[in-house]
Each structure stands twice: as C-alpha cells, then as structure tokens.
Amino acid sequence: MTPPLLALNDIRKSFGENEVLKGVSLDVEPGEVVSIIGASGSGKSTFLRSINGLEMPQTGFLKFEELSFDFHPESRFMPTPAQMQSLRQRVGMVFQSYNLWPHMTVLDNVIHAPMKLLKLPKAQAIDEAGALLSRIGLYEKRDSYPTRLSGGQQQRVAIVRALAMKPRLMLFDEVTSALDPELVHEVLVLMAALASEGMTMLLVTHEIAFARDVSSRVLFFDKGVMAESGTPDILRNPQSDRLRQFLHRILHDGLAYGASAPETAQGA
C-alpha cells in the first residue's frame, strides 16, 4: 500500500487565547486534489500555512515523504531549519496576493529560486522558465515587470514561479480572491490543467463550482475543526446542517464567499 504523500495528525494552533486549529488531521495521497472551504476565520488558511511552516503549530505531527516532525515544544523531533528548507523546496505555495518581486522581470522572478536553492545553471533555469511561460502564453512578457501585467497574468506567473521548483505538492490559498471576475477563469484553467496532469494539490477556495469539478475530496472547516469531508458530492448533498447553511448562504443568497471579512493569518 502506497503511503500518503502528506500526513498530518492533531494539528493545533492558537494566537493568544484564540484557538484557530483544534486538532485537525489529514492524509493526502499522491495525485489528490483536496479543496478546503469554510467561512472567514474557520482556520483553513492557517492550516495551509502550517503545512509549510509559515505558521508553526503548537502541537501535532506532520510527515511529508521522509520528513517527520513533532511540533510539541518538548519533542526531540521539532523541525530544524535545514529540514524546513527541504520541506519548502518541495511544497510550492501560491497566495491571494501575487507576491512577485516588483524590481525583477517576469523571467528573473521565475529563475531566482531554482538558481539559488536548486543550484541550477542559469542557462538551464532560463530554458525551463521559458518552457513554463510558453505553456501559460506569457513567454512574450518574460522581460516585463509585474506592474505591467494584469492581475490574472501576475497570478499565473506566481504559479509558474512555484512550479519552477518542481514541487511534489502545491498549496493554493484563495488565489482568485483578489482578481476581477473576468480574470478568474484564466487562473482556474491553469489549476485544472495541473490537476489533470496528476499534481497533488491542496487549495483553499471560494470557487465552489471549481472545487466540485476538479477535487478528489472537499473539506469543510468550521471554527477550527474539519466539520465535514468527503467526495465533491457533499457540495450537492451536505450531511451536516452547518455545511448546508454555509452553501445556502453562498449559492442562494448571492453573498460572495468570505465577504464578511478578509481572512488574516490569525483566524483564516
């Protein structure tokens, strides 16, 4: 039996007295696409950030390939800086804000990490970046600066920058939330293509139709716990009253997902 690519057990995270994650566990198999939905403040973005160490859980266990971490403060298996770097090199993450370096061209944004962290020769990094940019139709923009691109183009470059590191797992945190509606489609098309090619993906999303069509599994977070999980059928036939209410609020009341308040690192 193939072991999961990622295994998390009893992940807990608090900010002061606010317990954001209350013992979340999850196994992710190679090639799975797992969508995480939930209201603002439910813990979903904090959970995603805990996977690659942008937030450090207070307790819990994480296993990714050969790396095993025990986050209990007295554990002998707390991650070392070298282990965290190894994890982050294999786990790509794309955020709501594009986070491109404004002083670098598109090409330089894409080749910087492979050259610095993977020690790729510059010529090889340029060739591989060119192939990725050609794939998304932005090769002609390689010498442009991010401010000259649309929001959708910037987000696609951010995805390509993560892909240039050849990650084993991709994390997407509300990557379409900051985009105008007409630009959302081009980003979702790229993500759907990655899913169809077998990329293992975890995504926090408000795009319910996309989650239904692309996901292997859907997780519903509510007040720091995984309140419901299952195949995308739970979006058509929710088993819990809380998920039923949440979907009704989004799909029938016309309220944009997360519109009540922007998510922050301390309650997302």
Q: Which amino acid appears at position 179 of this protein?
A: L
Question: What angle, rounded to 10 degrees, do the helices at 151-163 and 122-135 form?
Answer: 130
**34 forms bridges with which residues in the sheet?**
202, 217
Summarize the confidence of residues 75-81 as an average pLDDT. Answer: 83
> Tell me: the pLDDT tens digits for 206-225?
999 999 999 999 999 999 99
Going along the chain from its start, the domains and CATH numbers come out as 6-251 (3.40.50.300)
Task: Name the strand (E) or helix (H) holding 172.
Answer: strand 169-173
Beta strands in 65-167 (DSSP E): 67-70, 91-94
The residue among 23, 22, 28, 8 whose CA lies nearest residue 216 is 28
| Reported confidence tier of residue 251, pLDDT bands at 50, 70, 90 | confident
Q: pLDDT-derived band of residue 63, with 50, 70 and 90 as boundaries?
A: very high
Whether the predicted pLDDT of 74 surpasses 70:
yes
Measured CA to CA, the distance from residue 127 to residue 172 in angstroms comes to: 25
Q: Average pLDDT over the chain, rounded to whole? A: 92
Is the model's pLDDT at 262 over the cut of 70? no
| Whole-prediction pTM | 0.91
User: What are the residues whose beta carbons fall under 8 Å from the beta carbon of 84, sequence distance 6 or more?
Assistant: 53
Asked if pLDDT for residue 123 goes beyond 90, the answer is: yes
Question: Which carries the bigger pLDDT value, residue 182 or residue 205?
Answer: 205
What percent of the chain lies above the pLDDT cut of 70?
Answer: 94
pLDDT value for 267 = 55
Helix ranges (H only) for 4-118 are 44-51, 81-90, 106-117
- Give me the pLDDT at residue 263, please: 39
